[in-house]
Chain A
Amino acid sequence: MPQRLRLLLPLLGLLICTTALAQDDPLRSPGWNIMVDRFFRDATVIHDERVQVSAPPGAENSHSVPGLVRVEGIEDIQRLLVFADLNPIPRILELTPTTALPTVGFQFKVQQATPLRAAVQTADGTWYVGGTWVDAAGGGCSAPSIASANPDWQDRLGEMAGRQWQQQDGAQRIQFSVIHPMDTGLAPGIPEFHLEEIQVYREDGTLLASLEIESSMAENPRLLLELPGEGTLRIHGRDNNGNRFAGVLR
């Protein structure tokens, strides 16, 4: 009997430890406490299902996994942060919505199975967090694709494309893309080179939304935003080498 107990004790201890660590994270991620340290130190954090994060359950192409964040029923949002706990570069983007809706669509790179999360901060400093797990490998035929194989990126760097759709609820949905290699600096011999910021303006110069972007976003980023109203937009971007890009979305 005592022998059996001796066997069980470490197991029991392990069980208690892991429960304590993950208890306040509905996704039970081993990276959650590190994320709290990094992004939310000394702030109030509430896991809240109104912060909706959607992604496919598995990554068919680990260089480009789509994600969509939508927040319903939380007012006064100052910042919207998107990150993946277990990625080498966890932060993916940060949206300062200004007058835009707290909605953002994007594609990101995954290194291993990881939670994808969004956190919104309201004016009182509280963070509301939602998320979902993404497995790093898809079905049996999902060979890893060859990243940055596009030979003509230098000629096309910063080329923008886009389109807008007027939604039934009155919002203006836009999608736009920028040709950019989004190099992480983690591959040997290839320095970090990525889009860093994007701003969306009305034609009269009113700022609607600004985005900070990390190299964890997929090559040639394509973003989705929703804006109040309608009409022509100007989109400006800058990368970490100081290249500036701009386009008019009619």
Chain B
Amino acid sequence: MNRALLLCLTMLWTLPATAYELSPEEVAPGVWVFEGRQEHFTRENQGDIANTGFIVTGAGVIVIDTGPSARYGRAMHAAIRDVTREPVIAVYITHAHPDHFLGNQAFPEVPIVALPATIEAIKRDGDALTDNLYRMVGAAMEGTDPVVPGHEAIPNRYKVGDRELKFIAAAGHSGKVASDLMILDRTAGVLFAGDVVFHDRAPTTPHADVSAWIAQLDALSELDFRVLVPGHGPVARNHDPIEQTRTYLRWLDAHLREAADAGVHIVEFMNQPLPDRFAALAVAREEYKRSVAHLYPPLEQARLQPLERP
């Protein structure tokens, strides 16, 4: 009796993380989205915080981002098989952040495609990013290793099955060089914007060039589409998330420059309250603090003048 109880307890203790509950939503004919939670990485959400998706083209399925872990990738692959009999023919990775590419192991038979800067970044930082996610997410990461995309994406228009797709290299979120891949399904009128656009969720900036990002968002306003899939936050049927992301970035940029001009030390304003219009964004406080840490030191240094020797 006691031994049975013990065994039972041991099993509970060592039980692997619960399965990801992934159910895709069809946002336009043949275009499906798995919406992540608007949270930071936790053990509870198992790293499922970003949006991923797929397009059933008639000539096979193309997958856009693979999520935070091998197990997420496998759950995603299974959910795709529930929707269509078409096989996955390619995986596209929008950028080199760990919540978007660590499910690559679930697609061993198909080409994994990304922009050259993304491939470089995953080669360089993949292990460190993976380690950090193991630390934050824990058991759900079991068996996850970074897989470097083997094929370079070339921005252009392509005909795939019954779809006309446009690959766009976007600058800003991952740096000055255009290293975020956006995929526009012109046939269905859907834009997978990756982390170039956030919706009701504060943008992340660890590798951002804010000026380049704002310019990219200006250009994006001109693009023709009906459905917008942001990297994080709910799918939209208008251009509003572009404006939301741009407004936040403009404020952040001006706010940081003003503080640097006044000689304010970084920790003096990191803990100040956010304006109401931004405080309502998901994870606003955490992302704001992180953005200050990423973006402020270069601005501070740029305010200093070379000293002449006595």
Interface residues, chain A, CB within 8 Å of chain B? 54-57, 60-61, 64, 66-68, 105, 107, 137-144, 159-165, 173, 175-177, 222, 224, 234-235, 246-249
User: Taking A56-B289, A246-B309, A246-B310 as contacts, is the C-beta distance between A163 and B132 under 8 angstroms?
Assistant: no
Contact residue among B99, B265, B266 (Cβ-Cβ distance under 8 Å from A140):
B99
B307 and A249 contacting across the interface, CB-CB below 8 Å: yes
> Which B residues lie within 8 Å of A161 (CB)?
301, 304-307
Contact residue among B125, B265, B308, B310 (Cβ-Cβ distance under 8 Å from A68):
B265
User: Taking A56-B293, A139-B286, A144-B128 as contacts, is the C-beta distance between A66 and B265 under 8 angstroms?
Assistant: yes
The residues in B between 88 and 122 inclusive whose CB is less than 8 angstroms from any CB of A are: 97-99
A248 and B128 contacting across the interface, CB-CB below 8 Å: no
Contact residue among B132, B263, B265, B289 (Cβ-Cβ distance under 8 Å from A142):
B132
Main secondary structure of the interface of A (DSSP, over half): strand
A79, B122: Cα distance in complex, Å: 47
A141 and B98 contacting across the interface, CB-CB below 8 Å: yes
Given A66-B266, A140-B40, 20 new contacts (CB under 8 A):
A55-B267, A60-B290, A60-B293, A66-B293, A67-B267, A68-B268, A137-B132, A139-B206, A139-B290, A140-B98, A140-B136, A141-B207, A144-B128, A163-B304, A175-B263, A176-B307, A177-B304, A222-B300, A248-B309, A249-B307
A165 and B263 contacting across the interface, CB-CB below 8 Å: yes
Residue of B nearest to A105 (CB): B265
A235, B307: Cα distance in complex, Å: 9
Q: Please name 14 pairs of A and B residues whose Cβ atoms are closer than 8 Å in the assembled complex, sorted by A.
A: A55-B267, A60-B293, A67-B267, A105-B265, A138-B293, A140-B40, A140-B97, A143-B125, A143-B128, A160-B306, A163-B305, A177-B301, A248-B310, A249-B307
Contact with A along B284-310 (1 / 0, CB 8 A): 001001101110010011011111111
Interface residues, chain B, CB within 8 Å of chain A? 40-41, 47, 97-99, 124-125, 128-129, 132-133, 135-136, 204, 206-207, 262-263, 265-268, 270-271, 286, 289-290, 292-294, 297, 300-301, 303-310
> Which B residues lie within 8 Å of A222 (CB)?
300-301, 304
> Which B residues lie within 8 Å of A142 (CB)?
132, 206, 290
A232, B83: Cα distance in complex, Å: 72
Main secondary structure of the interface of B (DSSP, over half): helix
Residue of A nearest to B205 (CB): A141
What is the total of A-B residue contacts with beta carbons within 8 Å?
A: 111
A45, B257: Cα distance in complex, Å: 40
A54 and B204 contacting across the interface, CB-CB below 8 Å: no
B308 and A248 contacting across the interface, CB-CB below 8 Å: yes
A15, B250: Cα distance in complex, Å: 51
> Which B residues lie within 8 Å of A159 (CB)?
306
Residue of B nearest to A167 (CB): B263
> Which A residues lie within 8 Å of B132 (CB)?
137, 140, 142-143
Residue of A nearest to B127 (CB): A143
Distance (whole angstroms) from the CB of B200 to the closest CB of chain A = 19
A66 and B305 contacting across the interface, CB-CB below 8 Å: no
A-B pairs with lowest CB-CB distance, top 5 = A247-B307, A165-B263, A161-B304, A60-B293, A143-B125
Of A143, A176, A222, the most chain B CB neighbours within 10 A belong to A143
> Which A residues lie within 8 Å of B204 (CB)?
139, 141
Distance (whole angstroms) from the CB of B254 to the closest CB of chain A = 19
A6, B205: Cα distance in complex, Å: 53
A247 and B310 contacting across the interface, CB-CB below 8 Å: yes
Residue of A nearest to B287 (CB): A139
Distance (whole angstroms) from the CB of B71 to the closest CB of chain A = 17
A31, B206: Cα distance in complex, Å: 31
Of B136, B265, B306, the most chain A CB neighbours within 10 A belong to B265
Contact residue among A57, A143, A163, A177 (Cβ-Cβ distance under 8 Å from B263):
A163
A84, B112: Cα distance in complex, Å: 44
